[in-house]
Amino acid sequence: MTSKYETFAALHVPGDPVVLFNIWDVGSANAVVAGGARALATGSHPVADAHGWPDGEQVPIDFALANARRIVEAVELPVTVDFEGAYSADPEEGGRNVAQLAATGAVGCNFEDQVLGGEGLHSLELQCRRIEAIRRVVGEAFFINARTDLLLKNKEADDALIDQVIERGKAFADAGASGFFVPRLGDPKQMERVCRAVPLPVNAVAFPGAPPKAEWAAAGIARISHGPFPHRALMAQLEEAARNAIG
């Protein structure tokens, strides 16, 4: 019998990307399942927004874990969780925190390289040690979607910056990552460069103004996330409905 881990990993096909319409609680999970999802992914920003916290690991870790467990127990599909920076810059402590996440039944997590609560990115050497520490404690099946925020931290995505993206992607692969997540990757030529150079399935975000799914697929993208945008759109509709009802 195929496990949820194997099912989830198999969905990452370059040229035929899995679409993850990000959720934040059991209600949104059930709605996205009804919409035809093949897997589910939380987003840290919508989880925070929906429950009254700022993004950036301001959601208490116990709440984040409990929320993940409730979603996993409510659905049959594989669930991956946006776990930001694993609530610690220390490799070993971060690994222990992700082990707690894996214990909820989540099949994977997003794990980012920005310095939460600080400036810039963690050094490549430290980030690789953090990924290695997570892999040691969660085993081989858990899907570590290693994220780089290079494009989020820089206004101009020139060739030199894409070189750095590729350098990080290759190093993350060597450290044990399962996938490579590059938010704000949107230029088709740059997408193709990254997909060809990095030996991991590449994840991009369908931000407003991003290329259509066919262009992502043609470039070799294997996973398309929607990040905070489904929650923001829904909240805008709710606000408008309330305004119409009240006014």
Question: 32-45 in b/e burial notation, b at 16+ Cβ within 10 A?
Answer: bbeeebebbbbbbb
pLDDT at 245: 98
- pLDDT average, residue stretch 112-117: 95
Contact by Cβ (8 Å): 79, 42: yes
We report the CATH number of the domain holding residue 122 as 3.20.20.60
Cβ atoms of residues 14 and 220 within 8 Å: yes
- What residue type is assigned to position 91 of the chain? P
Phi, psi of 19 (to 5 degrees): -105, 125
Record the pTM: 0.97
Query: Which H/E stretch holds residue 202?
Result: strand 202-205
H-helix or E-strand containing 180? strand 179-181
pLDDT band at 156 (very low <50, low <70, confident <90, very high): confident
Which of 82-91, 108-117, 208-217, 223-232 has the weakest average pLDDT? 208-217
Q: Is 125 helix (H, G, I), strand (E, B) or coil?
A: helix
Dist CA 149 CA 245 (whole Å): 41
Phi–psi pair at 67, nearest 5 degrees: -65, -40
Average pLDDT estimate for 181-186: 94
Across the chain, mean pLDDT equals 96
| Helices marked H in 176-208 | 188-197
Conformation bin of residue 184: beta by default, left when phi > 0, alpha when psi is -120 to 50: left
pLDDT tens-digit series, residues 21-78: 999 999 999 999 999 999 999 999 999 999 999 999 999 999 999 999 999 999 999 9
Alpha-carbon span 71 to 200, nearest angstrom: 27
Q: What is the largest CA-CA distance in the chain?
A: 58
Burial class (CB in 10 A: 0-12, 13-18, 19+), 110: buried
3-class DSSP state for residue 104? Answer: coil
> Confidence class of residue 8 from pLDDT cuts 50, 70 and 90?
very high
Q: How far is CA 62 from the centre of its chain?
A: 19
The model's confidence at residue 1, banded by pLDDT at 50, 70 and 90, is: low
Q: Per residue in 78-97, pLDDT tens?
A: 999 999 999 999 999 999 99
Neighbours of 178 (CB within 10 A): 23
**What is the domain range of residue 20?**
4-246
Is the pLDDT reported for residue 2 higher than 80?
no
Domain tally for the chain?
A: 1
Short-list 189, 152, 184, 149, CA closest to 169 = 149
Name the residue among 52, 56, 28, 31 with its Cα closest to residue 42. 28
Q: Report residue 210's pLDDT band, with 50, 70 and 90 as the boundaries.
A: confident
pLDDT of residue 155: 80
pLDDT tens string 10-19: 999 999 999 9
